[in-house]
Every structure is written in structure tokens, then in C-alpha cells.
Amino acid sequence: MACPTCNATVVFGGKKVGSRRYCNAICAEAGYTDRIALSLPDDQVEAAALDLRNAPCPCCGEETGLEMFKSYFVYSIILYTQFSEREQLSCRRCARKRQIKDLLGSAVAGWWGLPFGIVATPTYIVANLFAMIRNPLKRPPSKALKEQARAIIATEIVEQHAHAA
């Protein structure tokens, strides 16, 4: 059986909540938070996403608009290649710093593996360039920002119940 939170295999023990078996208490609590997040009404999440968009940037403190920005990084050596897609809640300026860092890092460290490094490196460089050009602040809050707002609300609810108990 797999843990519903982290997908780890649970053979013996673990933590059972209702009909679900988690690998440990931490995953069980995260599962509780996820269940609360899924039960939140969409209009509440939408309003929280708009509030979050207008909050100060967690990286620099500026109030220029927040969104979930992606950056892409590839590292490769001989027969090993590691790909990563990073998501960051920040203002556009801080996101660009991360994207430039990942673009340059990929340009330096991505080429050195066969066969994937040579193929993936230009792809990840172009993906970072497109991510830097795109301005999601001109659109309504993204699905990723709404999910971040949903997670924040659910975590606050769990913390309020923990302090009340």
C-alpha cells in the first residue's frame, strides 16, 4: 500500500486515519491539510489568491505583485542527467533572478552528459527564456497561485485548530 501523501510503500505500521494508511504522523497531518484544502470553496480560494497577489514579495519585500513563477535547471555528467522544474512564489524581478541563475547554471552544467544533457540543455535554456519573457501578472491569478492560496488557507485552519485544542 502506498502512502497517499508521499507515495512511500507502507507494509507494516504507519499511521491510519479513517480508511487511509500513511507512512508516518507527518504525512497523516499533511493528508489532513490536503483534505481541508480540497474542501475549500472556489470563491474563497479566488479571493485569497487575489490577496496573495497583492502581498509583499517573500524574497525582497517589494509590493509589485506576486505570482508562481517557474524556472528550469539541468545538470549532467557522463551518463547521469538531473532535470528540475522549480516553482517560486515571488515578484517578477525575483523570479527573473532565479530564472537567469538557472539558465546560466544549465548553460554551464547541462552539456556534460550523454545522451540527455546535449538534448535537454538547449531545451531548458529556451524554457527559461520563455519564462522570463512571459508576464503572468497581466492575467488573472494562475492555477498554481490559487493552489498556493488554497494550501495557505488550509494550513492556517489546521494551525488554528491546533492552538484551540
| H helix or E strand, kind and range, residue 6 | none
**Helices marked H in the chain — which ranges?**
25-39, 42-53, 92-109, 116-133, 143-164
The predicted pLDDT at position 27 comes to 85
pLDDT tens for residues 10-52? 888 888 887 788 888 888 888 888 888 888 999 999 999 999 9
Report CA dihedral (111, 95, 158, 140) to the nearest 10 degrees: -120
Q: What is the pTM of this model?
A: 0.79
pLDDT tens for residues 67-83? 999 999 999 999 999 99
- Range scoring the smallest mean pLDDT among 6-10, 102-106, 130-134: 6-10
Of the candidates 95, 77, 37, the residue with the CA atom closest to the CA atom of residue 86:
95
The predicted pLDDT at position 19 comes to 76
The predicted pLDDT at position 165 comes to 67
Neighbours of 145 (CB within 10 A): 22
